[in-house]
Chains A and B, each alone.
Chain A
Amino acid sequence: MPDELSQRVVSVIAATQKLPPERVTIDSTFEELGIDSLDGVNILFALENEFNINIPDAKAEGVRSVRQLVESLAQVVGGGPEAAPAKQT
């Protein structure tokens, strides 16, 4: 599961940043990938759609690398205390 999660996160980041998928790895930092705060907001939006979840702001604060993002996301996807299923309208 973590591996599948990592792969999906990596491909979402690559697609959102318009980067070749091989440029993005689990060890990439946002700085290396040229991801600024506004790009980060876009990536969170894409991840929310990809997994049909809501990602609280607190889960995104301080995240500066792909690995940190995967770890943070695992708590939301895995039903951590702050996980919130997306409301379908």
Chain B
Amino acid sequence: MGARRVVVTGIGVVSAAGLTADQFWRTLAEGRSAIGPIRLVDASTLRFPNGAEACDFEPPRHFEPKELDLLDRFAQLGVVAAREAVRDAGLEWSAALQERTAIVTGNCNGGQTTEDQGFVDLYRHNRPRVNPMTIPRTMGNAAASRISMEFGITGPSYTIATACASSTHAIGQAFWLVRHGLADLALTGGSEAPFSLGNLKAWEALRVVSPDTCRPFSKDRRGMILGEGGAMLVLEPLEAALARGARIYAEIVGLGMSADAHHITQPSVDGPARAMRAALADASIAPEQVGYINAHGTGTLANDPTEVSAIRAVFGAQAERLALSSTKSVHGHALGAAGALEAIATVLALRHGLLPPTVNFTTPDPACDLDVVPNTARPAQVEYALSSSFAFGGLNAVIAFRRWQ
């Protein structure tokens, strides 16, 4: 079977920036930052008070109590996003389709909120035992497994862990499975729930979290802001989507991946540049055809200028006419869900002809001197866009999308 064209026909989002894909897009389009005081845990002993939490997410509205016993918050976020994506795509399941559907999710921390609670019980409260559901709740594939059971999906299903690039790698794998005929449909994306005291303390110790907010590419940026969320996409072959009259959001045209082989936390120019070049090559497009990049843009001192250098290395003089933005300034850095949230932001930017801004931007940085769409969304009809994720550990993934018209 030759390579098939692959399109996005369904999306679902649960995040600080909105509990549905529509709300998420509205927040991006209005350039509102969803970063605020941390409420899910007592942050009084932390050096950073703010995060991007899906505060309005009410698990009992989505799950029976018995189901909640089995699902850590990260899995809940992923499952609810998957339900929305499936509904949005208007899928009608058949036994044949269920068997030919793949699930590829991304996740970084697993069910660490459950694990954290178990440790509190064990070490602080001196309880002799932990909840017997701890293991099924904490495994990184818990969301993928629940999604497969809920929809009766029996095709290839797995979870990818590449830190902050997890769900970009996941979407890329799902894209290749569908493109090359190993699956006829894919449900893909990622979810993450990083808010437990133990995990936040670990981030505090690494000294990369901002004491106020996330200001990517701004000279006064002071670090990243953690976020949580779930984001899922439905991918299918173009022909199948057209045959059933599905709404097409965008086409996925390329995936590029690379490793820095450099340092466990410091970013490099070379690895990201090679991933972007690989995505362009996989999509058979030239740099000048790309109009927008949803950047990794964490807002740390080290990431942003390094990423700008990588973009310059790939796009040369074309970099000057590119627009890029970091929507992490809106929805926070949702780690294993980040790539999926940003892929959906990119898809919707192409669909609506509106580039979401880098918010909280105050002062240009000569080391990040590209057009970062500061603070206000910008109308622009873009043909091709990239969504980039460059993980701790130097593992990089970039997806190329094309506007559908």
Chain A residues with CB under 8 Å of chain B are 36-38, 41, 44-45, 54, 56-57, 60, 87, 89
Residues B263 and A36 in contact, CB atoms below 8 Å apart: yes
Which residue from A36, A45, A60, A89 sits with its C-beta under 8 Å from B266? A36
Q: Which residue of A lies closest to B210 (CB)?
A: A57
Residues B207 and A57 in contact, CB atoms below 8 Å apart: yes
Nearest first, the 6 closest Cβ-Cβ pairs linking A and B are A38-B265, A41-B207, A57-B207, A87-B45, A45-B205, A41-B206
In the complex with contacts A36-B263, A36-B266, A57-B211, A41-B205 CB distance below 8 A:
yes
Q: How far is the CB of A2 from chain B (nearest CB, A)?
A: 25
Q: How far is the CB of A55 from chain B (nearest CB, A)?
A: 9
B250-276 interface (Cβ within 8 A of A): 263-266
B290-305 interface (Cβ within 8 A of A): 302
Residues A37 and B302 in contact, CB atoms below 8 Å apart: yes
Residues A89 and B265 in contact, CB atoms below 8 Å apart: no
- Residues of chain A with a CB closer than 8 A to B205's CB: 41, 45
Q: How far is the CB of B290 from chain A (nearest CB, A)?
A: 31
* Docked pose: A27 CA to B302 CA in angstroms: 26
Q: How far is the CB of B394 from chain A (nearest CB, A)?
A: 13
- Residues of chain B with a CB closer than 8 A to A87's CB: 45
* Docked pose: A38 CA to B47 CA in angstroms: 18
Q: How far is the CB of B46 from chain A (nearest CB, A)?
A: 11
Q: How far is the CB of A86 from chain B (nearest CB, A)?
A: 10
* Docked pose: A52 CA to B167 CA in angstroms: 39
- Residues of chain A with a CB closer than 8 A to B302's CB: 37
Q: Which residue of B lies closest to A41 (CB)?
A: B207
Which residue from A36, A44, A89 sits with its C-beta under 8 Å from B207? A44
In the complex with contacts A37-B302, A41-B206, A57-B47 CB distance below 8 A:
yes
Residues B263 and A60 in contact, CB atoms below 8 Å apart: no
- Residues of chain B with a CB closer than 8 A to A38's CB: 263-266
* Docked pose: A41 CA to B303 CA in angstroms: 17
Q: Which residue of B lies closest to A42 (CB)?
A: B205
* Docked pose: A62 CA to B211 CA in angstroms: 17
Which residue from B45, B211, B266 sits with its C-beta under 8 Å from A37? B266
* Docked pose: A36 CA to B218 CA in angstroms: 24
* Docked pose: A38 CA to B262 CA in angstroms: 13
B302-323 interface (Cβ within 8 A of A): 302
Q: How far is the CB of B264 from chain A (nearest CB, A)?
A: 7
Q: How far is the CB of B298 from chain A (nearest CB, A)?
A: 14
Q: How far is the CB of B325 from chain A (nearest CB, A)?
A: 26
Proximity bits, B199-217, A CB within 8 Å = 1, else 0: 0000001110001000000
- Residues of chain A with a CB closer than 8 A to B47's CB: 54, 56-57
- New A-B contacts (7) at CB < 8 Å, excluding given A38-B263, A41-B205, A57-B211: A37-B266, A37-B302, A41-B206, A54-B47, A56-B47, A57-B47, A57-B222
Q: Which residue of B lies closest to A87 (CB)?
A: B45
Which residue from A37, A45, A60 sits with its C-beta under 8 Å from B265? A37
- Residues of chain A with a CB closer than 8 A to B206's CB: 41
* Docked pose: A87 CA to B206 CA in angstroms: 18
Q: How far is the CB of B174 from chain A (nearest CB, A)?
A: 33
- Residues of chain A with a CB closer than 8 A to B263's CB: 36, 38
Q: Which residue of B lies closest to A48 (CB)?
A: B205
* Docked pose: A44 CA to B47 CA in angstroms: 14
Residues A60 and B45 in contact, CB atoms below 8 Å apart: no
Q: Which residue of A lies closest to B209 (CB)?
A: A57
- Residues of chain B with a CB closer than 8 A to A57's CB: 47, 207, 211, 222
Q: How far is the CB of B316 from chain A (nearest CB, A)?
A: 29
Q: How far is the CB of A5 from chain B (nearest CB, A)?
A: 22
- Residues of chain A with a CB closer than 8 A to B207's CB: 41, 44, 57, 60
* Docked pose: A65 CA to B231 CA in angstroms: 44
* Docked pose: A57 CA to B47 CA in angstroms: 9
* Docked pose: A82 CA to B45 CA in angstroms: 15
